[in-house]
Amino acid sequence: MRLILCGFGIVGQSLAKLLESRSEDLYVRFGIKPRIVGVIDTKGSAVQTSGLDLNKLLDVKKKYGTIKKYSPTKNNLSGVDLIKNLDADVLIETTPSNYKDAEPGMTHITEAMKHGLHVISVNKGPLALAFPSLMELATYNQVLLRFSGTVGGGTPIIDYAKNSLHGERITSFDGILNGTTNYILTNMANGMSFKTALSDAKKKGYVEADESLDLDGLDAAAKLVILANWIMDLKVTMPDIKRTGIRNVSEQDIKNAAKKKCAVKLIASCNKDLTVSPIEVSVDSPLCVNGTLNAISFTSEHSGTQTIIGRGAGGIETASSILRDLLEIRQEISKI
Ligand SMILES: NC(=O)c1ccc[n+]([C@@H]2O[C@H](COP(=O)([O-])OP(=O)(O)OC[C@H]3O[C@@H](n4cnc5c(N)ncnc54)[C@H](OP(=O)(O)O)[C@@H]3O)[C@@H](O)[C@H]2O)c1
C-alpha cells in the first residue's frame, strides 16, 4: 500500500518508526507492505515513488528539523501537489488540529478523497467542523475515511463502540475525553491551585500550544462530535455542543465535591443534549479515573453500561491506531 503522509511531527515520526520496526511482521501476518511515497512538513517535502527510506527520513528530520533535506529534488511540494501527482492508495493526515477553518487538514482530506484515495486522519479539526459532509464526500467518491486515533489515541474507544457493540443500540455515553484537563483536575483534588496545576501540566508537555483547546473544552468537544456522528448517527458539528471548560473550577468547588465523595471531572456527554462541562462524579464511579487517563462509559439497550479506560494520547499509541485503520482499509478493499 502506497501512503502519502501529511505532517511529520510526533505522530508522523512515530508512524515511520512503527512501520520500520514492524515491516516484516506486517508482511508475514497481514500480507501488506506499506510504503510512504511522499511526506510534507511546514518547510517542504520528500518524495520517492518506490518508498522513502524511513530511517534516513527520521535522521534527516532530526538533523535538519525538516524532511526537505531528504533529497534535492521534489522537496518543495505541497500536500495537494503530492495528492495530485503521486500514485498512492491512502492519505494519512497528521497536521495540527484547528477548530477555526480546520486547515490545512481539510484541504488535504477533501482533495485526497476527490482523487480516489482512502483517508486516515488523526487530525480532529476537519471532522469536528464537517463530519457529515466529509462522510458524504467519502461515500460519493467510494473511498473510506477512518479516524481511530482522533478519540482515545491508542485506546480503541471508537472500535469498541462500533465493532464490539455491533448490533446493539447505544443509547448514551459519557466520558473524560481530554487527559490534560483530567491531569489538572486530579492535581487540584490533591491540593494544588489551578495555576500551579496548569504550569505543572505545561512542564510535562501535556498542554496544547494553544492552551484554550484543552482548558475551554474544545478538544473534548471535537471528540464528542466525532463519536456522536459515528456511533449515534447524529449529524452534528462543533456549534451543536454546549461547552464549558475548566478555567472557572475553583479550589472551593473541588473541596465541596470531595465532601460528597465526588471529584470534579470534565465530562463530555451524549444524552438528550451534547455537552462538555465540569461536573461532580462519584469517586466510586468507573469514570472517576485520575491523571492523564481517559474513560468513557457506553450505555446500550440490552448490554447495560460498559466503561473503557486507557491513555488518551501519545505518539506511538496514536501511530498504532493509524496502523489499525490501515489494516481495516486493506481488509475492506480486499472484499470488493
Ligand atoms: N500527539 C498525540 O498524542 C496525538 C494524539 C491523537 C491525535 N493527535 C492529533 O494528531 C495530529 C498531529 O499531532 P502531533 O502531536 O504529531 O503534532 P506535531 O508534533 O505538532 O506535528 C504536526 C506536523 O504537521 C506539520 N505541519 C503543521 N502545519 C503544516 C502545514 N501547514 N503544512 C504541512 N505540514 C504542516 C508540522 O511541520 P513541522 O515539523 O515543520 O513543524 C509537523 O510535522 C494533530 O492534529 C493532533 O491533534 C495527536
pLDDT at 172 exceeding the cut of 90: yes
Q: Which architecture, in CATH terms, is 2-153+315-335? A: 3-Layer(aba) Sandwich (3.40)
How many Å lie between the centroid of ligand 1 and the Cα of residue 11?
A: 7
**Mean pLDDT for the chain overall:** 96
pLDDT at 166: 86
Q: Is the CB of 8 under 6 A from ligand 1?
A: yes
Q: What's the pLDDT score for residue 335?
A: 82
Do the Cβ atoms of 274 and 155 come closer than 8 Å? no
pLDDT at position 135 over 80? yes
pLDDT attached to residue 167: 86
Write down the pLDDT at residue 211.
Answer: 96
Provide the pLDDT for residue 334: 85
Q: Where along the chain do its domains lie?
A: 2-153+315-335, 157-311
Active-site residue among 61, 68, 124, 223?
223
Question: By CB neighbour count within 10 A (0-12 exposed, 13-18 middle, 19+ buried), where does 100 fall?
Answer: exposed
User: What pLDDT is attached to residue 320?
Assistant: 94
Confidence label for 249 from pLDDT (cuts 50, 70 and 90): very high
Q: Tell me the three cell numbers of residue 163.
A: 465493532
Residues in the chain, overall count: 336
* Confidence class for position 199, pLDDT limits 50, 70, 90: very high
Amino acid at the residue 6:
C
pLDDT at residue 263 in the model: 98
Give ∠ CA 52-53-56 in degrees, rounded to 5: 125
Contact 54, 36 (CB under 8 A): yes
Q: Evaluate: CB of 104 within 6 angstroms of ligand 1.
A: yes
Of 52-56, 63-67, 159-163, 184-188, the least confident? 159-163
* Cell 443509547 sits on residue: 171
Residue 131 and residue 225 in contact, taking contact as beta carbons nearer than 8 Å:
yes
pLDDT band at 278 (very low <50, low <70, confident <90, very high): very high
Query: Rounded to whole angstroms, how far apart are CA atoms 291 and 304?
Result: 27
41 CA distance to ligand 1 centroid (A)?
Answer: 9
Residue 154 has pLDDT above 90, yes or no: no
CA 13 – ligand 1 centroid, Å: 10
Of 281, 303, 302, whose CA–CA distance to 290 is shortest?
Answer: 281
Q: Cβ(316) to ligand 1 under 6 A? A: no
Q: How much is the average pLDDT of 55-77?
A: 97
* Element (DSSP H or E) covering residue 135: helix 125-140
Model confidence at 336: pLDDT above 80: no
pLDDT in tens, 78-133: 999 999 999 999 999 999 999 999 999 999 999 999 999 999 999 999 999 999 99
pTM as predicted: 0.95
For residue 61, the model assigns a pLDDT of 98
pLDDT at 190 over 90: yes
Return the H-helix or E-strand segment holding 325.
Answer: helix 315-335
Residue with cell 503522509: 5
Residue owning the nearest CA to atom 34 of ligand 1: 41
Each residue of 282-325: pLDDT tens digit? 999 999 999 999 999 999 999 999 999 998 888 999 999 999 99
> At residue 317, what is the residue type?
E
CATH topology of domain 157-311: Dihydrodipicolinate Reductase; domain 2 (3.30.360)
Residue 312: predicted pLDDT = 85
Rounded Cα distance between 131 and 219, Å, is 15
Residue 165 has pLDDT above 90, yes or no: no
Hey, what's the cell of 101? 477553518
